[in-house]
Amino acid sequence: MLFDDLLNNPAKWMVESRDEHDIVLTSRIRLARNLTATPFPGWATRQQREETLKLTSGEARQIPVMKGGYYAELSGLTQQQKQLLVERHLISRELAARSEGCAVLISRSQNASILFNEEDHLRLQYILPGIQLKKAWGAISKIDSELEARLPYAYNTRLGYITACPTNLGTGMRASVMMHLPGLVISEQMQQVVQAAAQLNITVRGLYGEGTEATGNLFQISNQSTLGDSEDQIVERMTRFTSDLAHQEWNARRRLLQSSSLQVKDRVSRAYGLLTNATLLSTQEALALLSFLRMGASLDIFSHQALKNVNKTIMNIQPAHLARLSTTDQTTPEHRDQIRADIIRKELSGN
């Protein structure tokens, strides 16, 4: 599978939504795994990382679901190619910052990906649209079991799977969902959500995870602890919290429409006006305006048809995707803002 094949055929979870109210966009399960008697990537020499990569990637590429997928060593990718994979949530920002002895393997469906020598020797992830954490866990568990049968995993009967960061000890699992929460943001309830989540050992982060902002009212929500709970318990708690939060978001949107109908409709209309007429749009402004349109569509203020490809549009207006569409080798921020505005204008007009 070639890089262009990967980019020209985005996974369904990237461009489709299973949530009728467009609240829960994706579900992801990520597992951290390491080998015995082998230094963690951050402590290993270049030669040790390359030896570990040769062993782990060779076995991973033999797993049926990963055969025929896209494989690349980070040292062979350009900075733009790395950023494209980050923007599609196929690799982490941490892996993109690395090079020698690091690689990624992505299944043909692009639901599954394996990161080699990021913080841990292996980071396995599986992504599905909507609230499907249990299904994602079942899928990645099969891949994990096949790898564990082939590789000497570092495991302790008391501490569980050994990881580079102590916070990942135990199951090594991060169960996360991407949620669109404009109703709770506008009604100033997100602080209460963050506090309630913390009491359940759940954390609320931005679009690209730890250290990033919640641009466009998009939040990544995941379990904070991995030690002391089973995988099934983590998935169940996260699924229940996500369902409850989606219900709160929907109620917040309906209350806003009931108490401030004209203001909400005006905000949605203004967002549409700017998006269909602006000649320059930054990433932050575009995502913020598209967020209002998405909310308006869920409340039947705005046509669902005009937003049928909104997830794909959001992906295509990220900086690295725009640079790929540019006809020049060097793109300035202003040029990217112009291309972004053109893409959105054409998408909303149906051209």
- Known binding residue 177? Answer is yes
- Known binding residue 209? Answer is yes
Residue with tokens 């461009």: 15
- Known binding residue 324? Answer is no
- Known binding residue 298? Answer is no
Q: What is the pLDDT of residue 332?
A: 83
- Known binding residue 49? Answer is no
- Known binding residue 332? Answer is no
Q: CA dist 313 to 19, 118, 218, 220, 320, Å?
A: 18, 29, 15, 19, 13
- Known binding residue 264? Answer is no
Looking at this protein, which amino acid is placed at residue 216? G
Q: Using CA of residue 270, residue 271, residue 277, residue 280, what is the dihedral sign?
A: positive
- Known binding residue 272? Answer is no
Q: What is the pLDDT of residue 259?
A: 94
- Known binding residue 123? Answer is yes
Domain parsing of the chain, residue ranges? 3-252, 261-349
**Mean pLDDT in order along the chain per 10 residues (351 residues):** 84 72 91 97 95 97 95 94 93 92 96 97 96 97 98 96 95 96 94 94 77 79 92 97 96 95 94 94 93 90 72 85 74 87 86 58
Residues linked to residue 30 through DSSP beta bridges, in sequence order: 125, 174
Q: What is the pLDDT of residue 110?
A: 94
Q: What is the pLDDT of residue 14?
A: 78
Q: What is the pLDDT of residue 125?
A: 97
Residue 344, Cβ density class (10 Å: 0-12 exposed, 13-18 middle, ≥19 buried): buried
- Known binding residue 119? Answer is no
Q: What is the pLDDT of residue 9?
A: 84
Contact 76, 122 (CB under 8 A): no
Q: What is the pLDDT of residue 347?
A: 83
Residue with tokens 């050994």: 162
Compute the distance between CA of residue 333 and CA of residue 292 in angstroms, rounded to an integer.
24
- Known binding residue 27? Answer is yes
- Known binding residue 253? Answer is no
| Third-level CATH fold of 3-252 | Creatine Kinase; Chain A, domain 2 (3.30.590)
Give the closest residue to 102 by CA, choosing from 47, 48, 49, 39.
49
- Known binding residue 317? Answer is no
